[in-house]
A and B are shown apart, each in its own frame.
Chain A
Amino acid sequence: MERRLLMGNEAIALGAVRAGVTCVTGYPGTPSTEILETVARLRDERIYTEWSVNEKSALEVAAGAACAGARAMVTMKQVGLNVASDPLMSLNYVGVRGALVVVVADDPGPISSQTEQDTRHFGLFAKLAVFDPSTPEEAYLMAADAFACSEAQGRPVLLRPTTRVCHSYASVTLLDELPRRVPEGFSKDGGRWVIFPRLSYQNHLKIESELHTLRDTFSDYPRNILTGRGRLGIAAGGVSYTYVREALADAEADCKLLKVSTVPFPEALGLSFLEGLDEVLVAEELDPVIEDALVRLCGRHGLRVTVRGKGTGDMPNAGENTVAGVRLAVRRFLHLPTPGDDDQKRGIQHTEEINFSVSKGDGQMCGIQHTKEINFSVSKGDGTPEEIGAAPTPPARPPVLCAGCPHRGAFFAVKEAVGRRKAVYSGDIGCYTLGNAPPLDMVDTCLCMGAGLTMAQGLDRVEPDVLHFAFLGDSTFFHSGLPGLVNAVYNGADVILCILDNGTTAMTGHQPHPGIGRTATGAAAAKVDIHTLVSALGVAALARVDALDLAAAKQAVTEMLDIRGVRVLLFEGPCVAICRGGVPCAVDDDACTGCGRCVRQLGCPALARAPESRKARIDPVLCAGCRLCAALCPVSAIKGGGRPC
């Protein structure tokens, strides 16, 4: 048996392959993306893999395959399930013939998402079973469990990892493939696949009855685990279970411990857990799903057990859990001394003493931060401590558009062309959301995939005298931007749509999309041309321009400003992370007056000013040679540069 170092997402992918998956679809989204990428990289001829245009399409393609008897899997991030919720809700009523595992990666924190929604609640809402792994190894095994459960039930099943499972890694023992089955093909089954109200009532009865049975079945599921003894009990799920195990091992403490890996809640096992307990602490991320199940169970069975967790303020109800935060909560719950007393002399203060949970902003530092107040002393060798000042504060590092990013060119061209006229800039989801950062400051709204263009239309209905721009990436255009454009054309909206076409789905790591001519596995594919498509919608005011040709781009925007109706500007320029090998620009120190315009206006990470002379400095490692700074330099002091594509 081979042991491999696998990321959680790789483990899920290989677990699905082991379970005999033959159709995998999805739409990229952090932290789910690497699951489908791993399957695609295998180039396994037994498996069909596609990046679908959006999550709804992905789920429907997979549903079709599963209705024809295949073992199918669809992958997405949590907000992707909002897009795919329409087919998911109905599909449970209709069911599948083979198996369908819907992998939805949640993002506590959130680290790279719009919301902290909990897909386990989606499972409860859609009345579906949910599998919730704690580690990559478990996710590998659970993938097969999810397929088996789906096939046995004839219904879709959710597999819900979170970021710390998806993007953690572990040495995983790979097992032999499970027996594969040949899909039996679609059978009409006297209308079984056609959803009608009468049929839905009958199916609803069946669904409820099956869920009831699952509560018992899951009590015997080996990954719902009850251990330990005592009058205090901890229940945990997901990665929080590993934090609890770590806290207990660290404290050399023992108590009753229930690991919950499924929705529905394993009730018989839960009752065994509650029996003889005075108090329970629940450690889980996002919503109090396990906690609420335990509270309900106590109510239903008349148990006098206090359930502590998010509802009682013992655990945080937003943000991700941390090792330190869970450790503190566990120690308090077990009446053990809390750690951290000897930190003062190291000039370090743990937020676990103040706020035990939330990691924000500067990112994933596990709920710890530096104190800015405590001074530290250092000996100068003569034994006399000398105050040399407070711990320095590291620089804030908000994510930024890369040096050479064509989006910067598009944003800057629009900004220059609009000048002092009143304008609202509606943004969308992708790297270009980063256009909101100063100094560009060109994203005023961002809601969800595809919402920028449609929100701009609504803004215009209230303030028709203001210019309304929408920025939309190429992959997002195909995902859900297109219906919004049709809406604008049909309803005669007065908006300027800037499509930022960088030829990839950049933010999630460069997945192909319908405009590229390449499939998920790298094979040649039909290419949907955005310009032709927009033109076919009847948009007359349509122009395409090189996003990094500042003069031409500015001119193109200017020409659109005073036309009424729907105008579309297609800004083209390949993502700089794909188009590597540019020649860096250089500053001519004799010519540079140190006015700082390039640094102040572009926010390019390759640009800085020399400390003394205040002249521009270009980092040759970061500079991609886009020449945007050269184009706006009033004295032509920036030389060289050049892009290979």
Chain B
Amino acid sequence: MLNLIIAGVGGQGTVLLSRLVGQAALDKGFDIRGSETIGMAQRGGSVVSHVRVGADIHSPLIPPKGAGLIIAFEPGEAVRALPFLSADGAMVVFDRPVHAASGAPDGGAYDAAAMLAYLRAQVGRLTVVEGARALAACGGAKAINVALLGVAAAGGLLPFDLADAERALRARIPARLLDMNLRALAYGASLADGTPADAYTDTDAPRGDRP
């Protein structure tokens, strides 16, 4: 039914996003299974959540090329997660890079544009959420996870719709943060609506037809 990989860096809110997807799917009556990265990697390491929706799913982990959708919180992690994507799979990626700490062996900084170019060449159904505008619309980085949920839910990439996502949000998000998150959800949905003045959406473009 759905195999979703959520990829990001520790502290970006991947776990909450996977729980929101899980809750919304559960409320629709689906069976859910999945797995989180919890532990040392949460201190700035790569974190991956696997979310699997549907009956007769055994493993909490998605096999290589088994994901119909990848939601990536930054370009480097999107590329790292790409081997999970099925041949006709879709990807939603937030384009703002999170560089590794300065003590990292490779110096931390990396070429995010090269990552995005690679994704554009490799992924037929790619939605790139543009950083600065999204941050402004969502009131900062904290609710980017929910904006990405909005893109996927409104874009028909999930087994539930935007209203279901909103219900999950209302059930799981503390009241004082709800407004900000609802705004982020709506912003994400606007990107998927085909009015993407703020987004690079190329879902229907043939593969490889990009600079």
Tell me which of A30, A364, A370, A402 has the highest count of chain B C-beta atoms within 10 A of its own C-beta.
A364
Quick check: is A3 within 8 A (CB to CB) of the other chain? yes
Q: How many residues of B contact A (CB 8 A)?
A: 68
| A31 contacts B208, C-beta separation under 8 Å | no
Query: A225-257: which residues lie under 8 A (CB-CB) from chain B?
Result: 239, 242-243, 245-246, 249-250
CA distance A238 to B133 in the complex (A): 46
Question: Which residues from B are CB-within-8-Å of A7?
Answer: 36
Contact B79 A135 (CB under 8 A): no
CB of B159 closer than 8 Å to a CB of A: no
Closest to B78 in A: A394
In the complex the two chains form, what is the Cα distance from A301 to B39 in whole Å? 45
Any A CB within 8 A of the CB of B35: yes
Residue numbers in A under 8 Å from B23 (CB-CB): 5
**How many residues does chain A have at the interface if contact means C-beta atoms less than 8 Å apart?**
77
Q: Is the CB of B39 within 8 A of A31?
A: yes
**B118 contacts A391, CB within 8 Å?**
yes
Whether A394 contacts B80 in the complex (CB less than 8 A), given A363-B47, A605-B44, comes out as yes
**Residue contact B33 to A170, C-beta cutoff 8 Å:** yes
- The listed residue (B36, B45, B83) touching A169 by CB distance below 8 A is B36
A393 to chain B, nearest CB (A): 8
- For residue A260, CB closer than 8 A to chain B, the reply is no
A293 at the interface (CB under 8 A from B): no
| Chain A contacts with B in 419-456, Cβ cutoff 8 A | 431, 434, 437-440
Assess whether A531 is interfacial by the CB under 8 Å rule.
Answer: no
Stretch at the interface among A87-95, A342-350, A467-475, A545-553: A342-350
CB-CB under 8 A for A365 and B82, given A392-B111, A399-B10, A605-B101: no
Cβ of B76: which chain A residues have Cβ within 8 Å of it? 394-395
Q: Which of A324, A347, A369, A402 contacts B44 (CB 8 A)?
A: A402
Q: With both chains docked as a complex, state the minimum distance between the C-beta of B175 and any C-beta of chain A, in angstroms.
A: 18
Within the complex, which residue of A249, A379, A608 is in contact with B58, where a contact is CB–CB below 8 Å? Answer: A249
Q: Does the CB pair B101–A604 fall under 8 Å?
A: yes
A354 within 8 A of B: no
A135 contacts across to B, CB distance below 8 A: 33, 60
Q: Which residue of B lies closest to A245 (CB)?
A: B58
Tell whether A401 pairs with B82 under 8 Å between CB atoms, given A169-B35, A170-B60, A394-B77. Answer: no
Residues of B within 8 A of A (CB): 9-10, 19, 22-23, 26, 30-48, 56-66, 76-77, 79-84, 87, 99-106, 108-111, 114-115, 117-118, 121-122, 140-141, 208-210
A-B contact pairs, 22 of them (CB 8 A): A30-B40, A111-B40, A164-B61, A168-B34, A169-B34, A169-B36, A171-B22, A239-B60, A243-B59, A323-B62, A323-B63, A365-B83, A370-B83, A379-B208, A388-B121, A394-B77, A397-B45, A398-B101, A438-B105, A439-B103, A605-B44, A621-B140
